[in-house]
Every structure is written in C-alpha cells, then in structure tokens.
Structure 1
Amino acid sequence: MKQLSTLIILLFFSINSFAQEIQGKVIESENSIELSNVQIFNSENIEITTTNNNGIFILPTPGSYTFKKEGFQNKTIDLKSSKFVIIELNVLPENLNEIQITASNLNSQIKSLPTAISVISTKEIENSDNVNMTSILNTVPGVVVHNGTLTTNKINIRGIGSRNLYGTSKLRAYYQDIPLTNGSGESTIEDIEITSIGRIEILKGPSSSIYGAGLGGTIQLIPNKGLYNENSIRGGYIFGSYGLQKYLAQVNLGNDSNSANIIYTNTQKDGYRDNNQLDKQSFSVATNHFIGESDKLTFIGNYIDLKAFIPSSINEETYLNEPTSADFRWGQAKGYEDYTKGLFGISWQHDYNSKTTQYTSVFTSFFDSYEAKTFEIEGIKNNSIGLRTRFVSNSTLFNKPLEWTIGGELFNDNNKTKVYENLFDDTTNGSVEGSLTERYEENRRYFNVFIDSKLELTSKTNFTFGVNLNKTSYDLDDQINSDSSGITGDYSFDAIFSPKFGLTHQINDNIMIYETASHGFSPPTLEETLQPDGQINPDIKPESGWNFEIGSRGKLFNKKLNYDIALYKMDVKNLLVPRRTGDEEFVGINAGKTEYTGLEFGVGYNVLKTEKLTIYHSNALNFTDFKFKDFVDEDSDEDYSGNRLTGVPKFTFNSQLNFDSKCGIYAFINYNYTDKIPMRDDNSIYSDSYKLVNTRIGYKSNFSKKYELNLFLGINNVFDEQYASMLLINAPSFGGRAPRYYYPGEPTNYYSGFNLKYIF
C-alpha cells in the first residue's frame, strides 16, 4: 500500500510537471521562417535553452522569458499558457545580413548566400507613399523601374528586360509561392496592394537553378500574415495631388498559433495627364496556422478590380511643352484597361524531424481583361493552376555537413484572346467595338525539377551547387483561320539545364566573400513568337546566358556600418529583340549577343543610435557597362555591335536618411539620380539625366494600450524636376508622326493621411 501511494504521488508530480512545460516556436515576424539558435533567458538573466533547427523550444515552467538572437530585437514576454505558442522576432533594420531568405531554396541567412540579394523591409515599405512601389524598388542597386502610370510599369534587373516595350518580362515574380509571372514570362507586381506586403526580397542575376525561367532574377513579395496574439482593426485614409484618394480597412486576428491579416483598399486618382483616371479596389487575405510543432498551413488570397485609362507615350515636343497631354489618338479613343484578377494559394509545411522538412504549395489564378487600344480592342480571359513542392534536409557527405533540397514545380496557363476592330472617330466619344478579327486560345505549360545543396567544406567555407531542368511547351488554336494561314499547332522548346556553382568564405565574424557562376534563360512571349504575317516562328529560341560574379557582405566600425558589394559579368546569346511592325505592334527576333558588366554597392550606417533618437543613412550605387556584342539589324542591315544597351542608365545613385525618435516623430528623405539613357539601338538619341528628392514626415503615438495613431505628410519630386518616368525605346514614326518616346513623370506632388488602429 505504501509503495502504491508513493507511485501515485510520483505520477501526480510527473503529470503536473509535464503540464507546466511550455512548448513553442520562434519565427521571424516578416516572413514566418523558423529561427534556430535563439537564446532564451529567464527573469534572472540565466540562459535556459536555445531553439533547435526548426525553431522549437521547451521551457520547464511558466514565467517571464527574454528571446535573443543577433540581428533581431530582443523580446520579453510572460508565458503562462501550456498551449503551443508562437514567438515573433523583429529584424533590426541595420542587420539585414542576419535574416533568413525566403527566395533561397535552403532558407539561408543572407550573409551565407553566394549570390546578390537585396531586402526591402516592412519599415521601408511603410515609409513609402503607400500607393506606388517604384520609389522603394529604385533604392535597390541593380534594379531600375520605369513607371508610365500606376498600371504601366517596366522593371529591369541588371539590364535584363530593359528592351521590353511594355510591361515586365524575363524575370520571375512571386507573391509568397504564387507566381505573378504568367506562362509567357510577363510579370505584373504592381497589381499587388502595397499595404499587404510584409517584405520584398530581390534575387539579382539568373535564378533559373531555383525558379526556372528568369534570366534577370526573382522578385519575391512576402505578404503580411498578421500578428499572433492580437486582435485589432485599422482604418486609414490618404489624399493627395491629382485627385488621389485611398481608403484602407484592415483586420488582424491572432492567438497563440494562428494569425490572419485581411485588407481592403480603394484607390482613386484623376492623374497628372489627360485620360489618366484610375479606380482600383483590392481585397487580400493572408493567414498562418501552426498545427502543433510539426505542421504549418498558410493561405494567400488576393482579388483586384481595376479600371485605368491610358494616356500612352508622347513625342518630344509635347513632352517638353504639354506634358499633361495624352497621345492624340489614345485620347480620342479614350483608351483604357478594365480587368479583374484573382490569386489564391495554400501552402503546407511539415517537419518530419529536426533535419527534414517538406514544403508544398498549390495555387491558381484568373485574369479577365478588356482593353481598348487605338487600333484594336482586346479581350483576354486567363486561368492558371500550379503546384510547387520541395524537401529540405540536413545530412553529411564525406563526413562534412550537407544541406540539400530537391523538388519540382508544375504550371499550366490557359489564355483565351479575342480581338475586335476599334471604330472610334471624331463622333464616337471614345472606343467602339467593331467586328471580330482574331480569336485564339493558347495553353502554355512548363515543369521544373531542381536540386540545390550547400556543403560545409570547413567551418568558414561552403560550396553550393544547384541545377534545374525546365521544359516549356505550348499549343495554339486559331479559332477563326482554320486553313494554312492560321496559327494552330503545338510547339515546344528544347529542355534546358541550368546549373549554379557557388563558394562562400567567412573571413571573420563580420565579413564574408563569395563567388558564383550560374546559368539562366528566358523563353519568348507569345507576341515575340509570332512572325509579321501572324505565323509561328519555329526557329525562335529562348535567350540564355552565364553569369560570373564575385562579392562581399559584412559589417565594419564596430558593426555600425554594413555593406554589400558585387561585381558581375554576364554574356547573353539569342538576344530577343522586339521589331516594330506598326505603331503599337511588334514581333520578336533572336538578334545576336549582349554583354552585361556591372558593379553594385550598397552601404548603410548607424549615424546615431540612442534610447531617444535613431538616425540611419543608406546609399546604393550602380555602375553598368551593358553593350551589344553581336547585333546586326536585319531590316536596315546596320551593325549595332559595340553600342550601349538600349533602355538602361550607365549610373544610378540612391541615398536615404531615416530619423526615428522615441517621442513618435519620424522622417526620411530620399535622393535618386538616374543617368541619361539611350533610346535607340543606334545610340543616336538619349534621354536627359535627372535627380529626384522625395521626403516624408510623420508622427506615431500609442496614446493608450488600445489605440495606435499614425499621421504623415509626404512630398514627391520636391524640386520639381522635369523627367521621363518611362521611355518607349526605338519608338517608330509611322504616318509622318514624330516618335513617341516619353511618359512624363509627375512634377512636385504631395500626399497626406492617417492610420488609426484599435486593439481589442
């Protein structure tokens, strides 16, 4: 009986002790990646434990604990619940080298990656005008964004994509794991509501070994998935020049292991130019759900309803004397685009053990567009579906630690297009739909199979290797011309292997160097595939190239200064060149080789960091020597070899100064210089260089435990610089009209607004 009593007492204390244990996971707040080796201290500042490879921790009893990791803000929290809890740590803005990168298959810290990558933090996004991404993307060395209107953007990374006439192509873009790049390789990141983004990661240079097609690189938009253990609502309003109004409503729902961020916005603007009105509604939702210590589900949804009128480009005389004018024909037709778009995806993460994790995402999207142009009216219905999965694990090779991943991606894109005559004239007051001239359906599909790995040769030196196999094919069904004049048929590109090799060496705790060689490619879009007579060009090939790069990242002067420098050279063959066949029409040809050589340098410095005031200064420089290596125009028989690459400045410089005070006042000022840009392949015409200064000042206040207020005022183009915010390269002069190269940038303009948050 005595032995039984003793056993019951021991069992009681054992159960009670187990019940007192607290288990949880530590993640990075901006992208929800698990953080390993986080030190956990009790209230007496004694280290109790550290998190494992999956961010898991176990604490013996409830109490007050402090979580510490280099590069992150310390967090002290009272843990009372025995439920599985999630702890979020915020990145210190000056220590971005410490963060985990989503764009890397291995979720590595940025300081250990053998490639050039830049990160735009939540704070930098919040300090923008909350309407347009252009200004923040242009702070990244190697990235140039041309912004014709809020819905007409062209992004190039290291010069790749600069010769695209409209929109962004030849790079990859993702919203979490959902591709923002369609089957033809065209990306529209400007559709994503900027306030829904928690962080932006930009991988520069070929990323084909990770994501398949993407010669220029990859832009990863990471949605804000809300805060754990907080339920709140937030309302906001912005007003500004040229009729700008933006309304925002946001709901955050969160408990110990679930979070959700739901945002609705409505943006309206009359526009600086004629025929420039915009009305955009956006609804987005992003959620995280940790199911025990081994599983996580993430749901992403985004819906957009937009109508935007198109002023188009104008000639030099109009640009200099009447920059508010729309092109005459676009104004007469009242050209516009009207579309709805949806993106939806669900991701599952499962930790099999502390060494092996599986990531799987399924996604779908739709796009329903009606666009009235000067020469035609085009209706497009697009649906896509895809899957991406990968396994990440740690093992050994030759008794050396090895981290590796293997996975694949499937994507199918269905595009139905109808083209009508536009019968507008002086009497119609805008576009009038005429007879149907084209109707076709395109199915484009691809698959990627990839392997990526990192082998620890020594405690300071790592070797990385990756390879991707891509196969892209499509079929076209011409539903009007069924005879030999139609474009019906099946077409396929050869399978492409894209390897990557890299080496990193940690010189000391604060400085690393890397070198890498990587292959990339970009397939032609449908428009580039078609010949002038509408037939498919069976000989057109994807452009491809090898990139060779050396670089270094680190911290100096007692970790007050952080830097990132990269020197690269890339040769691209089978360059895809748009050849114009009409005022707004073009086809693609392979036209030789291009050489890209550049130097990127970014540096940030903590000018002052006290309890009451922080001043942080950052600079980004970009030097380029991009030129045609072998390029002969077949129409004119002119040899452009040795000329500068069209559409790219030789030098850009961006400088930013940020002020944050404990009393709630904050401010920043941004300076951007863009060098002159060649507008024709023969380099006969250049745009003017320009300098832009943008600034913002605000006040944040937590005037009670339940209310947070943010008031702000911003001014863009402070010194009223006249500049071209976007250029239409190689613009033709059909019908005796002067070439229309220019999209005028806005003169001095302001915005102001507020956000009010209530925590319940």
Structure 2
Amino acid sequence: MKKKIRLSFVLIVIATQLHYSQNNTKTIENDSINNKAPLQKKTTQLNEVLVNANHLPVQLKKATSSTSLISTKAIERANSININEALNRVPGVFMQTGALNTNRITIRGVGSRNLFGTAKIRAYFKDIPLTNGSGETSLEDFELGAISSIEITKGATSSSYGAGLGGVIQLLPKSANFNTASIENETTIGSFGLFKNLSHFDYGNASNAVKIVFSTTKSDGFRDNNNYNRQAFTLHSTHQLNTKNELSILGAFSNLKAFIPSSLNETTFRNNPKAAAFTWGTAQGFEDTKRGLLGITLQHVFNKNLSQNTSIFTSFRNSYEPRPFNILDESVFGYGLRHRFIGNFNIYNRALTWTSGLEFFRDNYKHQTFENLYQDFPEGNGSVQGNALSNFKEKRQYYNLFLEARYDISTKTNIVLGLNYNQTRYDLQDRFPVSNDNADESGNFKFSGLVSPKIGVLHQLHSNSNLYANISHGFSPLSLEETLLPDGQINTDLDPETGWNFEVGLKGATLNNRLQYNMSIYRLAIKNLLVARRTAEDAFIGINAGKTNHDGLEIDWIYSILNSDNLQLSTFGSYSLNLYKFDEFIDGGTNFSGNDVTGVPSDILNLGIDVNSTVGFYGNLNFQYVGEMPITDSNSLFSESYSISNLKIGYQNTVLPHLRLNMFLGINNIFDTTYPSQILINARGFGGNAPRYFYPGNPINYFSGITLNYLF
C-alpha cells in the first residue's frame, strides 16, 4: 500500500518525467576526424544531447535503450570526493557506500548479492575496461574531478560492451582544448579531517591537446579505524596526426591507503556508530593499493561513410590487505585490445548506421593469504603477518565479438539490431605445497560460448515525444572463486547467470520544452541465480539456486521554472520503483520463492532544485528518499527507510583578466539522519556474536572550497 501511495504522489506531482543530464560539446562531422567545439550549457538544449550508446552516436531522446548521461554539472552538484551522489540520482542505479573505499553499485538490482564490492555490471574509462577478468568493478580509485561525464546504459542492452546483465557504466575523461593553455587548482576542506587538493594543467596547440590532473585526498573519517589517504594522477591527450588520423592517450594512476572499520551489529549501529567492528579495529585492518591503467587509441577515417577505432590497453593493481581472519596479498596485470569499424550507408534511401568489432581482455591474478597474528601481540600493535595459508595464480580471459546496426524504417521509426558473442576462460594454478591439510586446487573452467541478441524500436509520436521498446539478452560470468568447492575442486556444473530484458519507454519534452522527461517500465528475468553460500567467516561457495524477476518503473525529469538572461531556476528529480522477487529460489532446503530480492530498496525518490545567476551566485538543494530494504533472503529483517538532504551554494566569476574564481560551501545530511549507508546481506555471527549487517552513514557534515582558474 505504501508503494502505491508513493507512486501515485510522484505521478501526480510529476505527471511525466525527464532526463536531467546534458552535454557541453557539439560534434561536427566531416570527412576527417570529428571536431568538438565547446557550447554554453542551457537547459533548453537537453533534447540535442548526443550519447555514444553502443558506439552509435544518437540524440538521447532517440536512443532505443534506457541510457542516462550524468553531465559535469550534475557531478558538481556535490563535492568531488565521492561518485555516489551523482550515480544515486540516476533511476535504476543505487550505490551503497560503507566508506570511501567500500562501495557496491547495483543496476536494476543486479549485483545486490555481491557482498563486498561491485559485480555483474561492466565499466569502462573511455574504451579501457575497468571490470576485471572475473567480472568485478571498482570505480572509487579514480579521480572524480578528472571525469567530464558518465554514461550509463541500464539492463542487458549494450551488445557492444559484452552484453553485461546489469548494464554498463562508461566514464568519459575531461579533455583539454586545442590552442589554449590554462591552470586550475581547487582546495576543499571539510568535516572529519577532510582535505583535498585538485590541480588541472591544460595545454593545446593547433594539433595537440594535453590535460593532466593530480589530486591528494585525505580524511580521518567519521568512524574509528577510518583514515583515508589517496594520490591520483590522470593524463588525457589528443593528437591530430593529419586530416584522417587522430591518436589519443589515456592514463591513470592512484596510490591509496585506507583503513577499514567494517560493518556493525544492530546494537552498536544504533548506540555507537562511530565504532569500528571490534576485530577490525583491534587488527587495524586496512588496504594499501596501487592501481594504474594506460590506453592508446587510434581513430582513422577512410571516408565519410567508414572509420575505425583501435585501442590497446594495459592495467595493473597491487594490493596488501590485513583482515582479522587473514592477510591478503594480491596483484593483477591485465592487457587487451578493442577494435571496431563504424559505417553508414543508405538502403532504399533510408540511413543505416552500423558498428562491428572485437574486444579481447586477459589478466593474470596472483593472490596469497597469510596468518594474521595480531592477537599474539599487545593491543595497539595492529596486524602482524604470519605463515602462508594459500598461494594461487589465475589466468582469466575473454573475448567479445559484436555487431550492432540502426536502420531508419521511415522518417519516424527506426530499429536497432545487435548481437554479441562471448567466450570466457579461467585457469587456476595452486602454488601452495600439497599436504594432508591442503589439496591441489589447480584446474580450469571454460564457459560454452554465449550468444546475446537484442532488438530495439523507436517511434516518433510527435516532434517532442518518442516511444521506444527493446528486448535483449545478457549474462554475468562466474568468478573462479565461485566455482571452487570446499574440497578445492572446480565445480564444472555451475552455469552463468543469464537474463532477458523487456522494456517499454517514453521520452521527450512538453510545455515548450520547459518540461523534459524519460520514463520506462521493464522486466529483467534472470535464471541460474548464483548464490554465495557462506561456509566460514572468509569462505564462500557458489550455487545456482533459481530465478528472479526484476519488474520496475523508472522516471526522471527536469522542469525549467525560469530561464532568463540573468537567472536560471530549474527543478529535477527521479523515481525508481523496484518490484524485485525471487521467482524460484531454494537454498539449503529452504524455499525463498516469492520473497523480495535481498539488498535492494523498495523504491528511491530524488528531488532537487538548481539556481544559477549571471552575477555568479549558484546553488542546489537535493533530497533523497530510500525505501526499506530486505536484509535476509527469508525477508525476516528489513532496513528502515530513510531520507537525506544536501545543500551546496557558491559564487563564481572572473575577478581579474584571465583569472576565474569559484568559492563554494556544502552541507550533507542536513537533518543529521541516522541511516545505514551500506547493508551486508545475510550476515552471520561467529563465536556467539550478533550478525554485523550495517555500515553507518555519515552524520551531518560540511565541506567548503575555493577554485582558481587562470587562462593564459
């Protein structure tokens, strides 16, 4: 009943909805490399936003999939510390944040059963995969201030990116302009010892443009054992070799040391949320991680009808993580290639655009565990490494072959067809000495090739309104760890999760383009549901346990209240209704069929207001409501619904020739709400202790900063 009341309220107030995102570039096409010219951001231009969905650039309102674009302006509504606020305003997307280095992103409920990170969605930094060989993704290591926009395709609709079951997140880096040079520095301070310094260096001549971003971020954290220290470096350059060839280079490196307070039981969460989990605090658990990636892309234009993009990339991640139950020492080195053709021609005087290509990725993952002897030393000493417990080397690789085409059936109707073929393989080498207590767990796991088709149709109802529908298939690969049985053998009977996405949507504008909207209803039907069954504090096995139906409604909108030369005032918002159910789910003899899917809020509502003035003052106020969330598969325990409000105000203007000033102040969680910022589903207590389900969210906190930009 509550869901129906909330939905009716939203529909009455909104009546319709809009995609609030916007872009700040215009693509000018000719026979040579595409050129990008900066444009003034205006709400009235939202219908002309281009998205690169599935590598077939199209106006956002004409996309046949549910695609959201988070603009620079939307990112800057908050501070540049955490990406979660920007992502959580997108309907269908939910990012839980236990700490700056502890996050989980779900799209349409996919990935909610992953316990300690993000899985079953794909992510890219431009064309470089951020998802590793076992399907896990980490976005928090990258500098948010180096990102110009974020493109999100929801559901299994992106055949060009491997047909991921949940969807695709693509981070697009900021770029320098040709024939300009500038330097910018932003310093932010805030609650809990927050300090961040972010520097941009831009240089461009007639044929080269280079952008370098460097940042240092430090925080003591709200909780005990919560210190955070990260340095990040990002390079993005573009080089026009001639009229038909363009080379771009993208590099990123981060050095992070972050302590881990972990989750709390309900009593401690309510009475002492600042505390770290006892064992994690005593062991002074942390992660010390260095991560980098480098990609080089060559774009070649054959003629106005055919071009190609070729990217080669490599990445690494080295991490040392003392936990109370053991110490994990791991390293991964990956490399790959992404190549695609993009073409267009006419059939019966109607345009057909197409793209086809190959993506190959391989990484080598080495991981060892050691005893943590912190209990054998005086309190305050922290973790101490002991004897080795395991030593593995994994080789993980996949390749995708993809084809996608868009054809204009008529002046008002077009159709999109896509096909993806994936082949994934894991090889495991157990390098720990074989003994009576340790069996050799070496082996390999090769999936049968998976074919994922898609079809989408869009029809223009009138000049400002489009109706679309799509049917698509996707899958989520197993990780090698999920295939291991308790005796160390590989379970070759497991199947990857697969699903079909059925969706109908409406997008467009009304009221003289003042109200712009996007609404969709969908069903994502998943089978071979993979469940991580916990066998010990740090041990899990994977089982296929049934099916889920993810039925949902997504709405987002923006309404321009005032758009004069002196003042712009607009409201924005989004709503997600998540009716996700276990269709068939039997685990350990217990039947959970018909229950709500664990770890997903019942619904999420975002409301906000933006104001900008010619004299330089700006600000935004935003509100988020998160509904109750099942914590256990039995649905015997739910988290309580909560609401969070945030405010940011500022002033920006040119104060001296070539020098621009921006000052800002923000307040997060204005009403000091106590809420869980992340939930650990199906947690179990060990040694007679209560289960630790809750990561406490930050109480009311503040940030302020100043930015100086000098244009040479």
TM-score category of the 2 structures, normalised to the smaller one: over 0.9
Specify whether residues 33 and 591 from structure 1 end up closer, same or farther in structure 2 by C-alpha distance, changes over 3 A only: farther
Q: Which residue of 2 aligns with 1:76?
A: none
Q: Find the aligned partners of 2:355 and 2:672 in 1 and give their Cα distance.
A: 51
Q: Find the aligned partners of 1:287 and 1:407 in 2 and give their Cα distance.
A: 24
Q: Find the aligned partners of 1:534 and 1:749 in 2 and give their Cα distance.
A: 47
The question of whether the paired residues in 2 share the 8 Å contact of 1:35 and 1:55 is answered with no
Instruction: Report 1:284-363 matches (<5 A).
Output: 284-363=234-313
Answering whether residue 374 of structure 2 is matched by residue 424 of structure 1, we say yes
Give the C-alpha shift of residue 124 in structure 1.
Answer: 1.4
Q: Which residue of 1 aligns with 2:706?
A: 754
Q: Find the aligned partners of 2:88 and 2:32 in 1 and give their Cα distance.
A: 35
Q: Find the aligned partners of 1:380 and 1:118 in 2 and give their Cα distance.
A: 35
Deviates most, 702-711 or 326-335: 702-711
Q: Which amino acid aligns with 1:626?
A: Y
Specify whether residues 609 and 29 from structure 1 end up closer, same or farther in structure 2 by C-alpha distance, changes over 3 A only: closer
Specify whether residues 178 and 490 from structure 1 end up closer, same or farther in structure 2 by C-alpha distance, changes over 3 A only: same
Specify whether residues 707 and 29 from structure 1 end up closer, same or farther in structure 2 by C-alpha distance, changes over 3 A only: farther
The question of whether the paired residues in 2 share the 8 Å contact of 1:543 and 1:575 is answered with yes
Q: Which residue of 2 aligns with 1:616?
A: 570
Instruction: Report 1:128-207 matches (<5 A).
Output: 128-207=78-157
Instruction: Report 1:488-527 matches (<5 A).
Output: 488-527=442-481
Answering whether residue 167 of structure 2 is matched by residue 217 of structure 1, we say yes
Q: Find the aligned partners of 2:260 and 2:67 in 1 and give their Cα distance.
A: 34
Say which one has the larger Rg: 1
Give the C-alpha shift of residue 399 in structure 1.
Answer: 5.0
Alignment RMSD: 1.7
Q: Which amino acid aligns with 1:608?
A: L
Give the C-alpha shift of residue 485 in structure 1.
Answer: 2.1
Q: Secondary structure at the match of 1:352?
A: strand
Give the C-alpha shift of residue 412 in structure 1.
Answer: 0.5
The question of whether the paired residues in 1 share the 8 Å contact of 2:27 and 2:37 is answered with no
Q: Which amino acid aligns with 1:606?
A: S
Deviates most, 736-745 or 417-426: 417-426
Specify whether residues 605 and 34 from structure 1 end up closer, same or farther in structure 2 by C-alpha distance, changes over 3 A only: same
Q: Secondary structure at the match of 2:687?
A: helix
Q: Which residue of 1 aligns with 2:13?
A: none
Q: Which residue of 2 aligns with 1:100?
A: 50
Deviates most, 212-221 or 369-378: 212-221
Of 697, 700, 705, 2:649 maps to 697
Q: Which amino acid aligns with 2:652?
A: K
Q: Find the aligned partners of 1:533 and 1:153 in 2 and give their Cα distance.
A: 31
The question of whether the paired residues in 2 share the 8 Å contact of 1:602 and 1:621 is answered with yes
Q: Find the aligned partners of 2:32 and 2:593 in 1 and give their Cα distance.
A: 53
The question of whether the paired residues in 1 share the 8 Å contact of 2:210 and 2:238 is answered with yes
Of 632, 657, 661, 1:709 maps to 661
Q: Which residue of 2 aligns with 1:229?
A: 179
Q: Which residue of 2 aligns with 1:35?
A: 28
Q: Secondary structure at the match of 1:755?
A: strand
Q: Which residue of 2 aligns with 1:390?
A: 340
Q: Secondary structure at the match of 1:491?
A: strand
Q: Secondary structure at the match of 2:518?
A: strand
Answering whether residue 645 of structure 2 is matched by residue 652 of structure 1, we say no
Q: Which amino acid aligns with 1:462?
A: N
Give the C-alpha shift of residue 292 in structure 1.
Answer: 3.1
Of 68, 72, 78, 1:118 maps to 68
Q: Which residue of 2 aligns with 1:582?
A: 536
Q: Find the aligned partners of 1:30 and 1:506 in 2 and give their Cα distance.
A: 22
Question: How many pairs are equivalent?
Answer: 688
Q: Find the aligned partners of 1:661 and 1:86 in 2 and give their Cα distance.
A: 27
Deviations 1:470-510 (A, max 9, x none): 00001010011458922212220010000000111112221
Give the C-alpha shift of residue 93 in structure 1.
Answer: 4.3
Of 530, 539, 561, 2:515 maps to 561
Q: Which residue of 1 aligns with 2:430?
A: 478
Q: Which residue of 2 aligns with 1:535?
A: 489
Q: Find the aligned partners of 2:603 and 2:498 in 1 and give their Cα distance.
A: 25
Q: Secondary structure at the match of 1:477?
A: strand
Q: Find the aligned partners of 2:413 and 2:292 in 1 and give their Cα distance.
A: 44
Q: Find the aligned partners of 2:519 and 2:22 in 1 and give their Cα distance.
A: 27
Answering whether residue 308 of structure 2 is matched by residue 364 of structure 1, we say no
Q: Which residue of 1 aligns with 2:391?
A: 439
The question of whether the paired residues in 2 share the 8 Å contact of 1:208 and 1:215 is answered with no
Q: Find the aligned partners of 1:96 and 1:376 in 2 and give their Cα distance.
A: 51
Q: Which has the higher contact order (CA 8 A, sep 6+)?
A: 2
Give the C-alpha shift of residue 29 in structure 1.
Answer: 11
Q: Which residue of 1 aligns with 2:632?
A: 680
Of 670, 674, 692, 1:740 maps to 692
**TM-score, with structure 1 as normaliser:** 0.88
Deviations 1:714-737 (A, max 9, x none): 000000000000000000022110
Deviates most, 421-430 or 463-472: 421-430
Give the C-alpha shift of residue 649 in structure 1.
Answer: 0.8
Specify whether residues 86 and 166 from structure 1 end up closer, same or farther in structure 2 by C-alpha distance, changes over 3 A only: closer
Q: Which amino acid aligns with 2:506?
A: S
Give the C-alpha shift of residue 258 in structure 1.
Answer: 2.5
Deviations 1:268-287 (A, max 9, x none): 00000000000000011111
Unaligned runs of 5+ in 2: 1-20
Deviations 1:32-76 (A, max 9, x none): 77334xxxxxxxxxxxxxxx47687xxxxxxxxxxxxxxxxxxxx
Q: Which residue of 2 aligns with 1:47?
A: none
Deviations 1:395-426 (A, max 9, x none): 23355321111101000010011111111115
Q: Secondary structure at the match of 1:709?
A: strand
